[in-house]
C-alpha cells in the first residue's frame, strides 16, 4: 500500500509539472544540397505525436508542457535522425535537421533481396508500442488478413494464419532463423516477447529469397537493432490469475552493440468460462450456460535473449544471438473427449544464431548459421489417460549464404540454404525421423521506369527458387510488378504470382498412437499457385491511409486431419482446394494524431474443389468467411484511451459443414497515463479484455476466457 501511495503521489506531482503549457518547437527539414525534399515524418516523444512535413519542410508544435522531449525524423529516402532536449515552460526552440542519404551501412533485415520493390506489411517498433498490445499474438490479431489460433490458456502455443491458410503453412522467421517446430510445422508466437521486436514484415505467399514452403505467407521478425542511444526498460503486468515481469537493457559501447532481456510469466492461469452450444448438441448441451473455472492451467515460463553485434570495420560486422525459453505448465485438455486435470508438460528451447555481414553501396554479403534444440516432456498419472508419458527431442541446423549486387536501375540477389531436422519421440514410427533440405534461389529487381522527378516508378521482380527435400526436387518460379506514384494522393500497387511447395510434417508422416491418431507415410506434398494484387493510397496532408488487396490461390494435395471409421485421427490429401480473399482497411489520424481511427474487413472463400458428394464445394474448416475490425484512440495531454473491436463470423468445424462454431464479437479497452521525470518515462495502464463478456470458441471444445481485467506499469529510461 505504501508503494502504491508513493506511485500515486509521484503521478500527481509529475502531472502538475507537465501541466505548465506554452512552450513551442519548430522543426526545419533541409534536403541534401541540390535536391528537393521528399516526404518526411517527424515524431515527438513522449507525447507520441507525428506529422509529415509540408512543402517547405516545416512542422510546428505549440502549447507543449515543460519536460524532456525527443524528436525522431523518418523517411524512406534519408537516414533516420533524432535528438533530445529539455523544453522549459514558455520556451521557443528551433530544431534544424540536415538530411543525408543512407551510407553503406549493414542491413537491418536478415536477408536482403533484390525484390525490395515488392510490397509487404511492415510494422516497426513504434507501431507496436502505439498499439498497446501485450504480446505478439495480441498485436497481430487486430491486423487485417491475419488470424490467431489459441485455446485460451496462457502457456499453450499460439499460431498465425495468413489469408485463410493453415497455421503450419505460415513460415515464421526470427532474424532469419526458422521457428517452426520440427514435428508439427507450426511456430509458437508466444515465444517472442514484444519488447524483443524491432520490426515485423508480413508477406502473402512464399518468397524466393525467404522460403518457398510458405503456402500461406511469411512473418519475418527482426529483433532489436542499434538505435544510437542506451535504453533500459522494466515492466510489470498483473492479471487476475497470473502475472508477468520483465526487463530490457540495450545500448552501444564503442563498436559493440548489446541487448539483454529477460521475462517471467507465472500464475495459476485459471479463468472463468461458460458452457456454450458449441460444446455439445446445441440447445440440449449438458450444463448449457453454466460458468466454471479452467483448472490445471498454471504455468511458470522464463524467456531470455542476449544479442551482440561487433563492427569490425566500416563495412563488416559479426552478430550473435542466444535465445532461451523454458516453461512448465498444466495441460487442462479440451471439454471433449475429456479434461486432463493431472496432465503436466515441460518445454525448453535453446537456440544460437550467428551472422557475418559485409555491406557496401553496390553489394552486400551475408552468412548465417543457427542451431535450435527443443525438448518436451509430458506426463499424466491419470490411469484413464491414453498417453501417460512421452519425451520429445527436436534439433535443427541451418546454414545460409546470400549476396546482393546493385546497379543504377537493377539489383540481383542469389543465395543458398541448407538445413537438417531431427525428431526423436517415443510416439513416432521407429522412434526417430530426420531429413535434409536444400534451397537455392535467385531474384532480381529492375526499375524499368524511374524519371528524374521520382514521381512515378515501375519495378519488375522475377524470381526462381529450387527446393530439394531428401530425394524430391521442386522448381518454384515467381514474378511480380510494382509501381509508385508520389504525387498527392500517393499510390503504391503490386501484382504478383508465385508457386509454393510444402512437404508433409514429420508428425503427419510418422505419428504412431494406436489408440487416438496415426500418421500417413503415403502423404503427398502440398503445392500452390497464388495470384495477389494490392493497392495503397495515402494522403500526407490528411494523414489517411487506404488499402485494398485481393488474392486467388489454388492448392493441390492439401494436407488435413480426419477422424476415420475406427475413431482415430489420420492425415489425408485433399486433391484440390481454393482460397480467395479480399481485404480492405482504412486508417485516419486527426488533430495532429490526437485521434486515430481504423476500420477493416476481410472476405474469405476457402472451399473444397474436389467435387466429392459430401464435401465438394464446402468451406474448409476453421476459416472465418467474414471478419471486421475497428479501432479508435484518443490522446489528451498525458492521457490515452483506446478501444478495439473484432467481429468474427461463424466458422465450420466439420468438413461437411454440418457443425459450425458460433460467430462472436470481441471488444478490448485500455486507459494509460504517461509521466516524465527527467529521462525516465513511467506509464501505468489499466485495461479490460472481452469487455462484452462474449462466450466464444476459436478451437472446438476449447473454452475461451470471459471478461478479464489487467494492469501494468512500465518504466523506461531513454
Q: Which of 41-50, 383-392, 473-482, 530-539 has the lowest mean pLDDT?
A: 41-50
- At 483, the pLDDT band (50, 70, 90 cuts) reads confident
pLDDT single digits (tens) 638-651: 899 999 999 999 99
Angle in degrees, CA 273, 278, 283, rounded to 5: 100
Range of the domain at 8: 1-102
Residue 213 lies in a domain: no
With contact defined as beta carbons under 8 Å apart, do 222 and 199 qualify? yes
What is the arithmetic mean of pLDDT over 58-83? 75
What is the arithmetic mean of pLDDT over 379-406? 90
- At 621, the pLDDT band (50, 70, 90 cuts) reads very high
- Which of these three, 59, 75, 102, is where a domain ends? 102
Task: Indicate which CATH number applies to the domain containing 358.
Answer: 2.40.170.20
Percentage of residues in the chain with pLDDT exceeding 70? 89
Residue 110 lies in a domain: no
Q: Are residues 388 and 254 in the same domain?
A: yes
- At 458, the pLDDT band (50, 70, 90 cuts) reads confident
- pLDDT(718) > 90: no
pLDDT single digits (tens) 552-582: 999 999 999 988 888 888 999 999 999 999 9
Residue 212 lies in a domain: no
- Distances in Å between the Cα of 201 and the Cα atoms of 110, 226, 581, 586, 592 are 12, 18, 19, 19, 27
Strands 512-513 and 517-518: antiparallel
- pLDDT(112) > 50: no
- Which of these three, 79, 102, 125, is where a domain ends? 102
Average pLDDT of the residues of the chain: 86
pLDDT single digits (tens) 664-678: 999 999 999 999 888
- Best CA proximity match to 444, nearest among 406, 466, 411, 478: 411
Coil, strand, or helix at residue 44?
strand
Number of folded domains in the chain?
2
Please give the pLDDT value at position 132.
86
Please give the pLDDT value at position 17.
34
Gap between the terminal Cα atoms of the chain: 28
- pLDDT(19) > 60: no
What is the arithmetic mean of pLDDT over 457-486? 88
Q: Which of 79-88, 386-395, 650-659, 695-704 has the lowest mean pLDDT?
A: 79-88
Highest mean pLDDT among 243-247, 457-461, 543-547, 587-591: 243-247
- Which of these three, 66, 85, 102, is where a domain ends? 102
With contact defined as beta carbons under 8 Å apart, do 394 and 382 qualify? no
What is the arithmetic mean of pLDDT over 286-308? 95
DSSP label at residue 330: E
- pLDDT(18) > 50: no
With contact defined as beta carbons under 8 Å apart, do 134 and 141 qualify? no
Cell readout for 414 is 542469389
- Best CA proximity match to 117, nearest among 490, 497, 444: 444
Please give the pLDDT value at position 576.
97
- At 36, the pLDDT band (50, 70, 90 cuts) reads low
Please give the pLDDT value at position 308.
94
Burial class (CB in 10 A: 0-12, 13-18, 19+), 320: middle
- Distances in Å between the Cα of 716 and the Cα atoms of 233, 246, 412 are 4, 12, 42
Highest mean pLDDT among 2-6, 279-283, 488-492, 546-550: 546-550
d(CA 499, CA 495): 14
CB neighbourhood size of 465 (10 A): 28
DSSP label at residue 339: B
If one compares 179 and 81, the residue with the highest pLDDT of the two is 179
Quick check: pTM over 0.75? Answer: yes
- Best CA proximity match to 303, nearest among 324, 317, 286, 321: 324
Contacts 24+ apart (CB under 8 A), 136-142: 136/189, 136/190, 136/192, 136/193, 136/194, 136/197, 137/189, 137/190, 139/194, 140/189, 140/200, 140/219, 141/646, 142/629, 142/631, 142/644, 142/646
Residue 517 lies in a domain: yes
- pLDDT(48) > 80: no
- pLDDT(136) > 70: yes
If one compares 90 and 453, the residue with the highest pLDDT of the two is 90
N residues, the chain: 718
- pLDDT(162) > 70: yes
Helix (H) or strand (E) segment spanning residue 29: strand 23-30
What is the arithmetic mean of pLDDT over 514-526? 87
d(CA 695, CA 230): 45
Residue 156 lies in a domain: no
Please give the pLDDT value at position 385.
80
What is the arithmetic mean of pLDDT over 128-153? 89
Omega within 30 of 0 (cis) for the link into 337: yes
Please give the pLDDT value at position 139.
93
pLDDT single digits (tens) 652-666: 999 999 999 999 999
Residue 157 lies in a domain: no
Phi and psi, residue 13, nearest 5°:
-65, -45
Q: Which of 3-7, 24-28, 192-196, 240-244 has the lowest mean pLDDT?
A: 3-7
Task: Indicate which CATH number applies to the domain containing 49.
Answer: 2.60.40.10
d(CA 129, CA 123): 10
Omega within 30 of 0 (cis) for the link into 489: yes
Please give the pLDDT value at position 14.
35
Amino acid at each position: 500500500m505504501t508503494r502504491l501511495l508513493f506511485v500515486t503521489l509521484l503521478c500527481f506531482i509529475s502531472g502538475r509539472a507537465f501541466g505548465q503549457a506554452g512552450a513551442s518547437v519548430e522543426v526545419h527539414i533541409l534536403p541534401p544540397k541540390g535536391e528537393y525534399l521528399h516526404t518526411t515524418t517527424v515524431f515527438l516523444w513522449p507525447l507520441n505525436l507525428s506529422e509529415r512535413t509540408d512543402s517547405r519542410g516545416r512542422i510546428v508544435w505549440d502549447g507543449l508542457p515543460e519536460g524532456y522531449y525527443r524528436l525522431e525524423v523518418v523517411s524512406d529516402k534519408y537516414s533516420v535522425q533524432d535528438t533530445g532536449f529539455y523544453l522549459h515552460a514558455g520556451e521557443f526552440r528551433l530544431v534544424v535537421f540536415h538530411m543525408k542519404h543512407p551510407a553503406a551501412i549493414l542491413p537491418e533485415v536478415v536477408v536482403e533481396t533484390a525484390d525490395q520493390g515488392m510490397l509487404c506489411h511492415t510494422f516497426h517498433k513504434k507501431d507496436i508500442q502505439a498499439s498497446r498490445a501485450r504480446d505478439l499474438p495480441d498485436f497481430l490479431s487486430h491486423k487485417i488478413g491475419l488470424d490467431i489460433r489459441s485455446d485460451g490458456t496462457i502457456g499453450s502455443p499460439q499460431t498465425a494464419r495468413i489469408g485463410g491458410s493453415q497455421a503450419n503453412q505460415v513460415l515464421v522467421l526470427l532474424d532469419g532463423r526458422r521457428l517452426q517446430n520440427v514435428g508439427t510445422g507450426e511456430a509458437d508466437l508466444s515465444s517472442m516477447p514484444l519488447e524483443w521486436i524491432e520490426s515485423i514484415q508480413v508477406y502473402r505467399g512464399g518468397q524466393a529469397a525467404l522460403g518457398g514452403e510458405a503456402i500461406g505467407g511469411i512473418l519475418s521478425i527482426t529483433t532489436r537493432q542499434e538505435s544510437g542511444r542506451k535504453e533500459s526498460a522494466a515492466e510489470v503486468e498483473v492479471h487476475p490469475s497470473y502475472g508477468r515481469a520483465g526487463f530490457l537493457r540495450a545500448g552501444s559501447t564503442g563498436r559493440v552493440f548489446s541487448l539483454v532481456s529477460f521475462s517471467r510469466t507465472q500464475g495459476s492461469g485459471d479463468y472463468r468460462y461458460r458452457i456454450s452450444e458449441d460444446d455439445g448438441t446445441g440447445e440440449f448441451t449438458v450444463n448449457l450456460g453454466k460458468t466454471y473455472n479452467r483448472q490445471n492451467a498454471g504455468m511458470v515460463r522464463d524467456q531470455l535473449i542476449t544479442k551482440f553485434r561487433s563492427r569490425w570495420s566500416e563495412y563488416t560486422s559479426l552478430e550473435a544471438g542466444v535465445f532461451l525459453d523454458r516453461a512448465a505448465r498444466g495441460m487442462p485438455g479440451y471439454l471433449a473427449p475429456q479434461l486432463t486435470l493431472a496432465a503436466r508438460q515441460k518445454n525448453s528451447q535453446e537456440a544460437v544464431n550467428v551472422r557475418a555481414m559485409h555491406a557496401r553501396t553496390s553489394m552486400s554479403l551475408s552468412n548465417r548459421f543457427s542451431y535450435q534444440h527443443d525438448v518436451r516432456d509430458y506426463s499424466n498419472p491419470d490411469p484413464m489417460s491414453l498417453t501417460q508419458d512421452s519425451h520429445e527431442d527436436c534439433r535443427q541446423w541451418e546454414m545460409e549464404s546470400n549476396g546482393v549486387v546493385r546497379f543504377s536501375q537493377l539489383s540481383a540477389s542469389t543465395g543458398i540454404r541448407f538445413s537438417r531436422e531431427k525428431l526423436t519421440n517415443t510416439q513416432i514410427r521407429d522412434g526417430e525421423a530426420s531429413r535434409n533440405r536444400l534451397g537455392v534461389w535467385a531474384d532480381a529487381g529492375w526499375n524499368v521506369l524511374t524519371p528524374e522527378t521520382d514521381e512515378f516508378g515501375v519495378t519488375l521482380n522475377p524470381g526462381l527458387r529450387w527446393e530439394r527435400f531428401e530425394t524430391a526436387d521442386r522448381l518454384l518460379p515467381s514474378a511480380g510488378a510494382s509501381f509508385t506514384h508520389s504525387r498527392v494522393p500517393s499510390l503504391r500497387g503490386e501484382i504478383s504470382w508465385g508457386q509454393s511447395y510444402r512437404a508433409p510434417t514429420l508428425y503427419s508422416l510418422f505419428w504412431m498412437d494406436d489408440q487416438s491418431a496415426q500418421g500417413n507415410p503415403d502423404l503427398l506434398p502440398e503445392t500452390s499457385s497464388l495470384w495477389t494484387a494490392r493497392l495503397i493510397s495515402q494522403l500526407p496532408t490528411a494523414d489517411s491511409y487506404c488499402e485494398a488487396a485481393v488474392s486467388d490461390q489454388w492448392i493441390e494435395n492439401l494436407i488435413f486431419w480426419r477422424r476415420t471409421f475406427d475413431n482415430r485421427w489420420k492425415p489425408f490429401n485433399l486433391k484440390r482446394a481454393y482460397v480467395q480473399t479480399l481485404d480492405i482497411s482504412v486508417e485516419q489520424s486527426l488533430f495532429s494524431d490526437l485521434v486515430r481511427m481504423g476500420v477493416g474487413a476481410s472476405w474469405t472463400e476457402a472451399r473444397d474443389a474436389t467435387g466429392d458428394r459430401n464435401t465438394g464445394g464446402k468451406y474448409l474448416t476453421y476459416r472465418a468467411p467474414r471478419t471486421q475490425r475497428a479501432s479508435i484512440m484518443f490522446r489528451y495531454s498525458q492521457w490515452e484511451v483506446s478501444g478495439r473491436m473484432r467481429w468474427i463470423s461463424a466458422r465450420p468445424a466439420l468438413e461437411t459443414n454440418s457443425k459450425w462454431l458460433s460467430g462472436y464479437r470481441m471488444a478490448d479497452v485500455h486507459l494509460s497515463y504517461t509521466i516524465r521525470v527527467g529521462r525516465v518515462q513511467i506509464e501505468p495502464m489499466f485495461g479490460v479484455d472481452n469487455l462484452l463478456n462474449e462466450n466464444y470458441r476459436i478451437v472446438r471444445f476449447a473454452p475461451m476466457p470471459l471478461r478479464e481485467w489487467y494492469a501494468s506499469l512500465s518504466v523506461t529510461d531513454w
